[in-house]
Structures are given as structure tokens and as C-alpha cells.
Structure 1
Amino acid sequence: MSLRPLRFLVPGTTGRFRCGGLLVELQTARLLAGLGPVELVTYRQREEGRPFLADLLRAEPLPGGAGGALWIVSWGFDVPWLLRQLRGRACAYHAHSSGYGFPLPPAVPVLAVSRNTLGYWGDLAPRNPLCLVPNALSPEWLQRGKRCGDGERSIDVLVQQRKTSAYVLKQLVPALQAKGLRVEVQSGWVEDLVDLFNSAKVVLYDSADYWRGRGVTEGFGLPPLEALACGCVVFSSLNHALADSLEPGRMGHQLGAGTLAADLDAISAAVAQPADWRPQLETLNDLLAASSEASLLEHWRQALVAVNQHWDRILAGEPALKAPPLWRLRLKSKLRPIGSLAGRLRP
């Protein structure tokens, strides 16, 4: 079947809007251009050469114009407002982090980037179409990553400061340095992250406190995958979507596992003998192949076919299924024991 043209909605592409989530949307838009027409639309910041949401909505009648485009929304806090603007048009939520607290209208499909996010919406929106479309590793990680870990590496332990816990920065890093390990805390802009990761034996990634403090989740967690692709031994927190790909002792290792001494012993041993702490190469290759753009493009193709068929039915007048509200389910659950007790007491 022919797919609707895609319109990815982002607030802007420069300045304060540049972040990991934007880069993923840009990568996804580029990837999906291989399936059909793709357009990037801004809605907060007007940018030269790009369409602006308000202009398109004024110019195009329902149900969507432009051959019936499929609108992709993703910016967590803006999602409820965007879906109100797009009411009556084919749209889908490209869901990264979860926990923002908003409900989804009936009929709006979820394109979840992780099993963790998929399960979240499977609980909160069980009657909405749900698809799994994990984020893809950019090709340079698979092409240039030294996953066998061969050759000299100038950094014993690499830490990216952003999102990293105070425990790692203020306790673990000084303790590792006191043991004589070469620890680099990367905080500024790096032109070539692949080269940086290829230079490290061990990478530490601990985002649990960062996301707990914000009340939302680690939507996917690309840095540990990128580190694995470069042959690094990964010690990581296992919050949210990180548990999708990391399995302690098999695919990475838990960071903050009980005591500081335990971390120091494990990381020191991994620096001394990285080959003993890396995942089996065959297992790693399978994971990375599943995370390639070619593999994920097929995920997207299947998901978009399902979403397009869904909107064909909805826009033709088929009523969307609705899940019962949570208050009704909980009230029913509370009333059931009362009903059972009344039945037992009845003469």
C-alpha cells in the first residue's frame, strides 16, 4: 500500500532546541525519506526554508491536505497541545521518554522507541495502536567503532558529565583516580565522539538520578550502545529503557552495585583485562545489527503500514476503541469485595 507523506513536528532545529531528542528526530526523518516524502515542520521557531505548523493548518482543510499527510509529534511537554491542533488529522506520537502524565486521545497511535516506553503506553492507552520502533545507531558507530577493542587505548575510564550522577562524579571518579587510573570526564563539545569512545577501555553511564529528579524516563539510552559498538566495557545504571539492551554480566555491568568498593574492584579489573569483561562478540554483533538503520527501517515500514491502515479506517468513519477510565476500573475493583460480602450475608 502507498504510505502517507510524513511530517515531523519539532519546535525548532537551532539554538535552545538542539538536544539528543532533536538529533534522533532528524535522524529518523532522514532514514524514513527512503520510504516516501518526508517534511520537517517547526511550530515554535520560524526558520527560513521550513514550513511552519500554524501556516499549514490555516492553508489546508481537514483531513490533513497534502494528500493526507501523517503528522509525527514527539516533544514530550508539547504533545497534548500539538494533538489538539491536529484533531481530525492523521497523526502519531513518536514516544521517547515516558512519565509526562498526559493521557492520549483515542485512535492516536504510539510509535515507541523502547520496550519500556511501549509497556508504559500499553498500560495507559491499551486500545490505541502500539508499535515498537527502536532508535537506530548512526552508521559511523557501526562503520568505525573498534568493537574488538584491539590496540592501545589512552583512557582507562571515560565519563560523560551530562546526566551523570553526583555519586559517579564526586565519589567514584576521585576514588578511581586515587588508584592511579586515567579517568576523563568529558563535558564540552566533541567533534568526533566515535574517536573518543574508541580511545576508552571502560565507559561509565549513570542516568538514574537525573531522570528520577525530572519525573520522566530514560527513553532509549544510546550512549551505552555506542560505547559497546566501540569495544568499551560498559558500566551503567539500568533504569527504564537501558534495561532493554543491557543485561548485567552479559551485555554490560551494573554501576553502583551495592558499595563503592564493589565498583572500584570491578572497574579496576575491567581496565586491567577488558577482554574478560566485554560481551561475547557474536552476542554484541547481533545486538548492533538489530540496532542498525537498515534493520530499523524495516521496523518503521511495518509500523507505518499499520498506522496508515488504522487512519484509513478512522477517517472513513470507523469509531475508535476507548479504554475505560482508570477511576471506573478502580471504583469497580473496590465495589467488588463489598458486593461479595453482601452476597455472603444475604439470608
Structure 2
Amino acid sequence: MTDEARKRELNRLRAAIDAVDDELVALIRRRAELAAEVGRIKEDGGDSPFYVPSREAEIIRRILAGNDGPISDAALHGIFREIIGACLTLEQPLSVAFLGPESTFTHVAARKQFGAGARYVACRNFDEIFDEVESGRVTYGVVPVENAFEGAVTHTLDLFVDREVSICAEVLLGIHHHLLTRAAALDEVRVVYSKTEALGQCRDWLQAHLPHARLESMESTAAAAERAKDEAGAAAIASLQTAERLGMPVLVENIEDHHDNITRFLVIGQHDSPPSGKDKTAIVMSAPNRPGALHDLLEPFRERGIGLTRIESRPTRRRMWEYVFFADLQGHRKDDRVAEALEAVRAMPDSFLKVLGSYPVAEPL
């Protein structure tokens, strides 16, 4: 092909791409108009939630099931998440609380779930996120609940016992940690700041490469980077988004001990989600301290063939050696089998049961 012929072909293909882009914009505009109409109908209905995670899950699952490439599922998911989020803000402006400052992993997870169109409210700690949601000052909050390798975020679990919020969605986020510092080499680093969970997820790397550095826990990875930014000999473990926001050099990338590192976040609000066909239900329960108490709490689920994907014990902080049990069940609280099992637990003498919410199962991408 001659240079002139190549140029003509490129111009033809670019014109075709421009035409497709114009079609996409028109279709997105049409989708936005339909979403706005949905919002008006919901507003007339009074108490219908604008954000319905089960509906979003159905849309995403349907789109990914029909994806034959060449765009990956993860890329297509990201594109439609932004479109859905932008349309949702036309139904109702959303405010979302997260652990601040900007660019923490909680912020990244919130942006993944709600897109760029929501108003994001940075909070100093998890208690403040729950306060914002419980009081109605924000529509939703996002909190981490467990890491695939380090286990539960216990402070989050403890807050669910007494707070009046509901879980309506979960977000799975691949976590990659990076060493941010203005030091030119590792032997110049004397202290490493980060959140406790991030330090734990990089424990082996830190012992191997920075055995003499002091480790200090901060309230968030982004706050750690802000602390280390102008301190000689200091480094922080944080996200690439934080490095970009603060203009901090990344000395070493991907220092997490497990590169398939995933943290699960929960979206909390004033309601949970309707059934989507593939759901989880989160509960917290307890019974008097006696032999077989935990067995009795779990038996109604075994009898009905309901699987538990997680169970975790936490002290009640009311009496010594008294515990509550957090569990995630397969199924929705409105499913007949799940509803029967929950009622059987409630009927047990002196038992305690709190349903934290039902929500669609998130798929790792």
C-alpha cells in the first residue's frame, strides 16, 4: 500500500469511528432521558429508593454475558458503571461518604461503584462514615469489611451491631500497594507510614527490603502519603492515585505480598437491595454461652441447604467472653428458605438476630 493509499484508508476508518462516536453519544443521551423519566416516576411513588443495586447487577450481568470481545469484561464493566452512575445522578443527586482524604482505596472503591457523577464526602474514620449515613446527611457510605489474605476489618464489623444502617451492595477491588517516597533509594528510608491493614498486606516485603525501617500506622493510606510527602527519610504505602494526586515519586511498585490481593467493601445506606437472582444476606447473631449454642444457631441454615460464605466472631464489649457471630448467607432474605431459617433463629430462646441486609453478589473482574 502506498503512503497516499494508507492515508486515505486511515481517514476513512477515522471518519467511521467518528460516526460511531456520534451514535454512541445519541444513545447515551437517550438512555439518560429514560433514566430521568424513571426518576420522576420514583419520585411520584414517594418511598422508592433511587439506587437499586439489584437492577444494576442485572444490567451488568446481562451485558457481560453477551460480551464476545475484543474489549475485556473489566473494561466493559468500567464503561457501563460510569454510564449507569451518570444516569443515576439524573434520577437523584447522590452523596457518598468514604474514608478520606481523596484517593484512599475506599475512595477508589466508591468511585468504582458510583462513578464520577456522585458527590463524595471524605470522613476521618469509619465511625464518621456510619454517622453520616445513619443521620441521612449522605445517601450512602462505603466501608471495607475484609481482605482476602488479612481477613476481617474488625472495626467495621463492630459498628454494624448497634448502628441502624443496611448493606445494599458489595464492591470487590484489586489492591496494589506502592512505596511512595522522595528518597532516592531504599537504604535512605527510615520510617514507613500507612494504614494498619496495608502494612499487614506488605509485611513480608517490608521485612525483606526495609527490615530496619520504623512502621507507623495512620488513619488511611492517603493520610500516610500526605504525612510522608515532605519528611526526609519517610515513605508511605499507598495507591497510584494518591501518588498522582500528591505528585509523589513511586520508588517501588506492587509491594503487596500477594498480587491477587482483593479487598471487599460494603455499600451502606437506609435500605438493602431487592432480589437480583444471585444474592448474599449478611447477619449478626448470638445466643447464651452454653455448650452447642453456635451449633444451634447454624442448624436452621444447614437443614435448609443454605451455604455460609463467611462466619466471624467478635466480642460484644458488654461482658467478658461474650461474643456475637457475623455471617454471610447464600441467598436473599426474601427467599423462602432463607426467611424460614432466619425466623427459626429468631424463635430460639434468648437469641439475638439482626439482618444487616441482602445485596447482589459482586463478581471479581
* TM-score in terms of structure 2 length: 0.26
* TM-score in terms of structure 1 length: 0.27
Which has the larger share of strand? Answer: 2
